Amino acid sequence: MAKNINLKAIDLNSLPQQSKPVQLGIAGGIVIVILVLAYFLVYSGVNQRVTELQQQEEELKQTYADKSKKAAHLDQLQAELNNINGSFNLLLKQLPTQAEIPNLIQELHECATRNGLNMDSVSPAAVTETSSDKTGDSKEAQQVIQTLPYQITLSGNYNQISQFVRDVGKLSRIVTLNSIVLKRNEKDNTLTLNAVANTYKALSNAEIKAQNDNSKDKK
């Protein structure tokens, strides 16, 4: 049986004269120390870098998968965007021009008369503007549609008023009735309708430019 080796008692200068077991034991210890130092000095840093690269690889794979899905539906999204723009342009064409506004007011009178209603008053209210930003840039929401409200008052029975509302919805240009208030007249049992008839006008390029210039001046 081999005897235990006392490393403290070994003189390195006399190592060549030591027995083979002693030489092998010392050489093995040196190799172990070198490997341990190499692991902490080199391999631990490499392992950490490998781990970071693996995480980046997973993130890139996920990003690639997401973009691949978007690319696969790009044609569909483009078609939907074209449909939206087409619908928007079609609605713009249904908006009356400034020259058509008086005719539109006349059409409201004709709707009331045709249904046996008395149009008591039609008066313009405060003009408002509607935001519409087709570019998707929320920083500068452009006003391209102007709301032209008219306060109207008319009187008649329920059926006449109902038909009037339906006829307004069938006009060639867009007109909406808002803030509707119905009151019953105790004397003749008729109804009085107070409402805001809104029509909408697309701003011209000159009006949009003037609006943008005013916004810049205010900043």
pLDDT at 153 over 80: yes
Distance CA(107)–CA(105), nearest Å, equals: 5
Over residues 119-142, mean pLDDT: 61
Read off the amino acid at residue 63.
Answer: T
Over residues 85-110, mean pLDDT: 76
CATH number 3.30.70.60 given to 96-218: yes
Nearest to 191 by CA among 151, 152, 154: 154
pTM recorded for the entire structure: 0.50
Distance CA(18)–CA(37), nearest Å, equals: 27
Nearest to 200 by CA among 129, 141, 124, 102: 129
Nearest to 171 by CA among 152, 150, 197, 195: 197
pLDDT at 138 over 60: no
What residue spans define the domains of the chain?
15-72, 96-218
